[in-house]
Amino acid sequence: MLIIFLQAGFVSVTLLLFFMFSGSSSEIILTQSPGSQSVVPGQTVSITCRSSSYVSNEVDWYLQKPGQAPKLLIWWASNRQSGVSDRFSGSYSGNDFTLTISGVQAEDSGVYYCQQDYSTPSNFVSLWWTFGGGTRLDVGRDVHPSLTVLPPSREELQQGKATLMCLANKGFPSDWSLSWKVDGSSSSSSSISSSWEESRSPGVLQEDGLYSWSSTLRLPADQWRKVGSVSCEATQGSQTPLSETLRRDQCSQS
């Protein structure tokens, strides 16, 4: 008897595997995507699970909430467990399995796992319980982040460089996108933008369930001194874009 301890999401799962060897068997790996997703109520969510080898239709789906045991939603790819809402459905094609949640609700938040219980061939008598890596789903209302644009520092300008930072704080869902405009035009459309660099961070989940993001714009100090204003714009889906503008003549260190 082999005892394996797996750490999965909020709970440690102990699996007991009983082996009787007369040959060998390859390991089955389940790959889930996406790793996390945040949505607002009413949207449709799809989570995929790909098996590294043939498992027939023997893949189940579970939902785990903090402090609770995993709850079976779908068994053998497409069979809904008794008592589970018909908003949950499962499908598969070959080694690809999909869990779909229609009209997602706040109560659907948690970590979703696919799990295969395919029995290996007769030359290796065992039952493998392999879980995917999990998909965290956060469901909440639309929240517009607050934007702050920070100017370059005097010390940096003295070194011939200028870095501006845009901070977007406490928004939801996680797919707000940040972009820059210089004197009213996209930073990428400027005739001198080849020497500019933009970088963005993915949304970071805060303890209150909201997200924060940041973006930086780097350019030579002499070009910064020719700029009238820079704006950071936040967009998400069909929502009205948000914008925060910094005028260079308002910066004492410019």
In order of their start, the domains of the chain are: 2-139 (2.60.40.10), 146-250 (2.60.40.10)
Give φ, ψ of 244 to 5 degrees: -130, 130
Q: What is the mean pLDDT of the chain?
A: 86
Render pLDDT for 156-197 as a digit per residue (tens, 0 to 9): 999 999 999 999 999 999 999 999 999 988 876 655 566 789
How many other C-beta atoms can be found within 10 angstroms of the C-beta atom of residue 200?
Answer: 14
- Structure pTM? 0.73
**Cis peptide leading into 121, omega within 30 of 0?**
no
Render pLDDT for 89-134 as a digit per residue (tens, 0 to 9): 999 999 999 999 999 999 999 999 999 987 555 444 444 568 999 9
Pairwise CA distance, residues 65 & 63, whole Å: 7
